[in-house]
Amino acid sequence: MLILKQMLTLAASGFGLVAALAWNNVIQEFVATKIKPYLPSGSGLLSLAIYAVIITVIAVSVTYQLTRLIDKLEEKS
């Protein structure tokens, strides 16, 4: 049973990584097509900073929501 749990954890982690990489591409494309045209030419650093802020906001939001969910599940137990 322990091996099965470990395999499930590894599979979920792998799929999570694939999903994160897919969202990474979506956000990069969004910044490149929707934000970068409004920035002055040669503003690669600024567009990367905007991208980093978007990623950080998403990561913090997801982590916060998951932490709240875990806390609620632990309260019910």
Alpha carbons 2 and 40: distance in angstroms, whole number: 55
The pLDDT of residue 22 is: 94
The whole-number average pLDDT for the span 57-65 is: 90
The pLDDT of residue 26 is: 93
Q: What are the tens digits of pLDDT across the range 4-58?
A: 888 888 888 998 899 999 999 999 999 889 988 888 887 888 888 888 999 899 8
If 0-12 CB within 10 Å is exposed, 13-18 middle and 19+ buried, where does residue 31 land?
buried
